[in-house]
Structure 1
Amino acid sequence: MKSVWEVSSMAIMDLTVPSIGAELEEIDLSNCRKVSDSTITRLIGWVIPSDSYGGFPGGESKGAPVVVGCAKLRKISLSYCKHITDRSLYHMAMFAADRIESLDLTRCTTITDHGFSFWNFRPFSALRHLCLADCTFLTDKAIMTIAATAKGLESLVLSFCCALTDFAVEVLALGCPRLRVLEMQYCGSAVSDMSLAAVAHHLHELVRLSVRGCVRVTAPGVRAFVAVSQSILYLDITQCHNVIERIVAPRENLFIKQ
């Protein structure tokens, strides 16, 4: 449903009818301008316990719990859905933390660190891919929560998250040891030689790293990184203006884009 501008929030909610929603596992609502928190709440759904409607005083509850929404939904793309707020992050934490595998929040500029603080309620044990590109208001606090609650992350995109610092990268390196892909293009002052050192020493499964346009990265830092990291296969250092000389890859299976 990518870029379907005129579809209303109510029409999207209709996907939760049992004949469709019961088996829906993946949805792409990128650039759907009318998507709101209510849309996401209904899609993710919730569970009504059996005793909420079928119980009798002094007796056993009758019936099974009622599942509302798409109980199997595990991959969600909400890029450029600018009406999504911290309320959606709260609902994900409460009702889908154990099943969301992929989440794209590119350019969802109204989400904040406070929204990610709700993730502390329950671990996002299934989450493997998270894209936060262009979420310019997120700070190290959000990254600290992600590193603490989504330790199984394998792919993380933080491009244009300019409010981050070196500390955020160090926290990720320690908290998400299974990262294989890390993209931090144009992160302002967030990435430096110190960040590269932390990544090299702790992310032993990392195969792809992009620090394109990160002006604090220098040639000595890059050389030290490729010397230490034995897993890296692709490194993008284009537009890193302090990397002047050509960096020679120490291994044949390592491609350095510069």
Structure 2
Amino acid sequence: MQEEARLINQFLLNVETMSKQNGIRNSYLSDFGLVAIGDGFTKLESLSLYWCLNVTYVELIYIVEKCKFFKCLDLEGCCIGDEGVAAIGKYYTRLEDLNLLQCTSLTDSGLVQLALGRGRTLKSLCLADCRSPTGISLEAVGLYCISLDALSIESEFINNEGLLSIAKGCSLLKSLKLNCINITDEALQAVGKFCLLLEFLALSQCEKLTDK
């Protein structure tokens, strides 16, 4: 068990190191490599694919079919679209932590499907620098992702209605990071009223908030 864990950690370190070298130009890992991961590490619980641009959701599904204990997936900078996120929501039945930072091709369609599929298990969700999501996505998250304790959102299309849904539906939130230019005092007051367990709050470029 210890040797397998050591090999898994070393493999993930190597993947992350290769993908970070020289920015996004070194994207070595592809679907062929993911097949090898799924076949070789059946007890894998966490996988980081930082800027692995050649990876597709087809093999992400293959991995979770092989790795039944999978809980954490980091897809920062990956070319994962609505179809891929919807598939994650459908097949990753134990998923607790999902990082979609800089997955700029996502829209409300995929994120709503994600919330419908994985709302009961997700505890941490990062939608920072995704740009496209609107209040429709947040309404779905607020309605279905009631176990969330960490949420990061960045979108110029998010307004009060979306954040109100989050505040009312995700009462277990401990960490909330917002970069939403269009939210106002009303939304933040709702966070204060309903998210009583909140420990960390970040407000970046929330230009319409006042001292109120």
Report the TM-score when normalising by structure 1: 0.70
Task: Provide, for residues 68-104 of structure 1, a one-character-per-residue CA deviation record: whole Å limited to 9, x for no partner.
Answer: x2111111000111111222233235333x3211110
Q: Quick check: 1:107 aligned with 2:101? A: no
Kindly state the Cα deviation for residue 174 of structure 1 after the two structures are TM-superposed: 1.5
Partner of 1:202: 169
Q: How many residues align?
A: 199
State whether structure 2 residue 109 is matched by structure 1 residue 138: no
Match of 1:75 among 46, 51, 70: 46
Q: Provide the residue aligned with 2:132 in structure 1.
A: 163
* 8 Å CA contact 2:178, 2:203 repeated in 1: yes
SS of 2:173's equivalent in the other structure is: coil
What amino acid does structure 1 have at the position aligned with 2:155?
Answer: C
CA-to-partner distance for each residue in 1:211-251, whole Å, 9 max, x for gaps? 12x111112321232123222222212311111x225xxxx
Q: Does 1:246 align with 2:211?
A: yes
Match of 1:39 among 30, 33, 44: 33
Compared with structure 1, are the counterparts of its residues 233 and 160 closer, same or farther at alpha carbon in structure 2 (3 Å cutoff)? same
2:199 counterpart of 1:233: yes
Alpha-carbon deviation of 1:105? 0.3
The CA distance in 1 between the partners of 2:142 and 2:57, in whole Å, is 25
Distance, in Å, in 2 between the alignment partners of 1:74 and 1:99 is 5
Shift of 1:24: 4.8
Matched, 1:86 2:52: no
Alpha carbons 2:85, 2:110 under 8 Å: kept? yes
Quick one: structure 1 residues 128 and 194, their matched pair in 2 at CA, closer, same or farther if it must change by over 3 Å? same
Within 2, Cα distance between the matches of 1:24 and 1:172? 36
**2:31–2:55 contact (8 Å) kept in structure 1:** yes
- Which one-letter code corresponds to 1:179 in the other structure? L
Which moves more between the two structures, 31-40 or 113-122?
113-122
Asked if the contact 2:167/2:194 (under 8 Å) is kept, the reply is yes
Question: Does the CA-based 8 Å contact 2:125-2:150 persist in structure 1?
Answer: yes
Give the conservation status (yes or no) of the 8 Å contact 1:22–1:70: no
Alignment of 1:172 onto 2:141: yes
Cα pair distance change 1:182/1:129, threshold 3 Å = same
Runs of 4+ residues deviating >6 angstroms: none
Give the unaligned 5+ runs of structure 1. Answer: 1-19, 46-68, 248-258
Supply the distance in 1 between the matched residues of 2:97 and 2:7 (Cα, whole angstroms). Answer: 19
Following superposition of structure 1 onto structure 2, how do residues 27-66 of structure 1 map, counting pairs within 5 Å? 27-28=12-13, 29-30=15-16, 31-32=18-19, 33-45=27-39
Contact kept? 2:171, 2:194, Cα under 8 Å = no
Name which one, 1 or 2, has greater alpha-carbon Rg. Answer: 1
Counterparts of 1:44 and 1:179 in 2: how far apart (Å)?
Answer: 27
Q: What is the one-letter code of the residue matched to 1:111?
A: I
Q: 1:163 to 1:43 in 2, by over 3 A?
A: same
Q: TM-score, normalised by structure 2?
A: 0.84
**For residues 230 and 100 of structure 1, do their structure 2 counterparts lie closer, same or farther at Cα, with a shift above 3 Å needed?**
same
Contact kept? 2:176, 2:201, Cα under 8 Å: yes
Higher helix share: 2
How many Å apart are 1:21 and its aligned residue? 5.7
